[in-house]
Structure 1
Amino acid sequence: MSWTLRTFQTATTWVIVVVWAVFYGVALAHANPLPAPDTAVVFLVLPPLLWVLAARLALHHWWSATGSQMSTMDPPQRLLTAAVAALPERRREWGRAMTAELAEVDGRSARWRFALSSVRATLSLRPAGGWPVLALMAGLLVASVAATGPAVGAAVPGLRAFAMTFTGLVGALVILAAARSRRPRLPAPAPSVLVTAGVAASITATVIFLRREPTAAEYLPPAAAAYLAAVLAGCLWVALAAPRWLGTDRLAPHLGTAAAVVFVAWFLLVIRSDGTQPPLPLVLALALVLPLAPVAVFLVPAFAARRAGRSFRSGLKAAVWMVTAVTPLTYALWLSEGLRRHAIDGTLLTGEGEPAAVGANLTDALVFALGIFPVLGLTIGVIGAGLGARNARPPAASPPQSPT
């Protein structure tokens, strides 16, 4: 392991530890009541430990694939390489030619001038379809955003900011795809349909929740609504126009979405078993399965995809698809089960045991389903991909052929 990689890993470790310590200290200062000492220590140590492990594994495999090559480049070559990587497929050959021509340029100032001029050329390339078409699409997008917000806000109070943000983000992604001449491609139709259905279910669950409980709109301020729209639009982006850096492995999306379905089933089992008294053998089985199930669901798909695809990117792709499917499905389930639980005893889905406003379920869904679960799942998934890469054995070399 080179000194530069060790430096990157050490710097990343300290950044994660310091940022989490500051954030956690501020959270404790505003907490009322304070958590128990053992709970506080666990949350202080466990999250940064997982993040550091995931970051170091990701850096290790990134360095093996790309970072070591980037470290041998001078700044002009790094700048041009990054610009070429962002080009659409139809312009990639021109970018490679510019990179090869830069290798023949001598002198630091001359290399900077050539690299900057090439980057300016990449920015001024004519998009697919031409600027007039993109301008027309942008105008239609602005009109759609302006019309959608008031219409949705009048029908469902509290969803105006969400409707405008979601429409704008989805429209921007469509314009970007048109500019890069990228048609929406389904890397795996079944996982794409599942994620799209999850996004539709999330929007439907939010509408039903606010229609039944209009006072819950105060628990969805504009910032939270924009965050919800950004997350759901990102899920659609992965499902319908998966980014190129995720690779072309077709097994990883199926593994990730299958794990998401298992996690949703586990989540529903936890919710429905709360407050019941099952038989003793079932209690012992649940006590063993329920705490370990989330870790296995997040870890195993990335590990298996890495071993099957023999690539860290395959494991990362499975983790991304798992998070992309888990997020909208658990959010929709949280809202529907939150309404059911509150109608029974007036409590929240988090099991605090005291009556609370039903709208607090909306806040909890945003925090857990769109925050804690995706971060935890992606972190453990990256660790699974890293462990799979570390344990994977290279293919055996063929024996040498004897001369005839």
Structure 2
Amino acid sequence: MAEILTPAKPLSVNPLKASQPIGASLAFLGVADCMPLEHGARGCTSFNKLYFMRHFNEPIALQTTAMDQTTTVLGADDNVVEALATICAKNAPKVIGLVTTGLSEMQGADVPRTVKAFRTQHPEFAHVAVVPVSASDTLGCLETGFAAAVEAMIETLVPRRPSGWKNRDQVNVLASASLTPGDLEELRAWIEAFGLTPILLPDVGSSLDGHLIDQGFSTLTYGGVTREEIERMADSAATLVIGRSMSRAADALQARTGAPDVRFDQLIGLQASDAFTEALAELSGRPVPAIFGRKRAQLTDAMVDCQFQFGGAKIGVSGDSDLLSALVEFFHGMGANVVAAVASARSPRLADLPIEDVAIGDLEDFETLARARGADLIVANSHGVEAARRLGATLLRAGFPIYDRHGAHADAWIGYGGTRRLIFAAANLLAAHYQELRPYISRYKQAAE
């Protein structure tokens, strides 16, 4: 059991976390023909959109209700109704994700009532689904905002059919924000190899993977899970849940569909990959394809080859709880010492980690712990570059945002193949960082004549 440390300082000096509205908007970016709408100030949404564009290097569909000082005091309901009507008329989306922010939450905005007012004033847009999500900046992090948006989509878009016919070859997948588009592509192929048809909610793997479309440009999301597929989730035989942050969303889906679920904390590592593969074999009633035996053998060989790089290495890990926990358990399993772990927000999973303590804090806290405990390698997003330089440690980039490397969002670290790639990436960083000791030369040595 890890001890949870909470710094007493009154402010965040070098922020680690991204806000809940960013996470909620990210979830809606994985839905086809969708427009996320943040109910807050114009500058906040512009900042979030910039984050997305730098991380994914793609055009991002994101709008704002543009609250100002007047509407903040007197009420911004009209802004919401006008924004919804404008988006419906100009962009013709199938889904609008209405995300609150710290500003609208502090103002006391009643978003469900405002959505009802929109329905009353604009019945011509009854076919457009509006999914309201409460996502204050003052609470949680990207991961919790993402999970809240998924739960809201389930409550709004999935029909309530707890009994009835189920498609035995169709499974639902709820994957946390810790999985990249590259991870989700790997996950889909993994499930399809067993003859199952997955419905991923959301599916940023098919919307933010970086691809060109025939029409050249769209004001809405490119790809993603469709509204029709979300409605068909009620007919799935089972649900696969990846990430403990998705527990509430999984509970909501189970209540609406009656389908059993299988939950996994992460899919990084040999043991986690074995468990997921066995679950797919049981759900499908099919034997494990031979290719997975080959991939497993490659992973175990990589673990043997790189064990000396990891053994005794001092590692620092930072990030949201699902990603942090997965990487802490990965490094621990490889024989490294995780000497510093800093999470962006509290989570029940943190106490279960196999290390002495986990701090809830920012990158300043992370840098302080890593320096005091002599970390050789630190794991952080791109905001950790300067900390790594000051520490003299090597940096493994993970999380959000990563804006100083091309294709980081396409990296896949899950499954047998993904874990193998992660082992090689971390081992190479440790090998390049290793400083060989200079040989001792006695002061009494005499040069040969």
TM-score, normalization by structure 2: 0.24
Say which one has the larger Rg: 1
Bigger strand fraction:
2
Q: Which has the higher contact order (CA 8 A, sep 6+)?
A: 2
Query: Structure 1 or 2: larger helix share?
Result: 1
TM-score of the aligned structures, taking structure 1 as reference length: 0.26
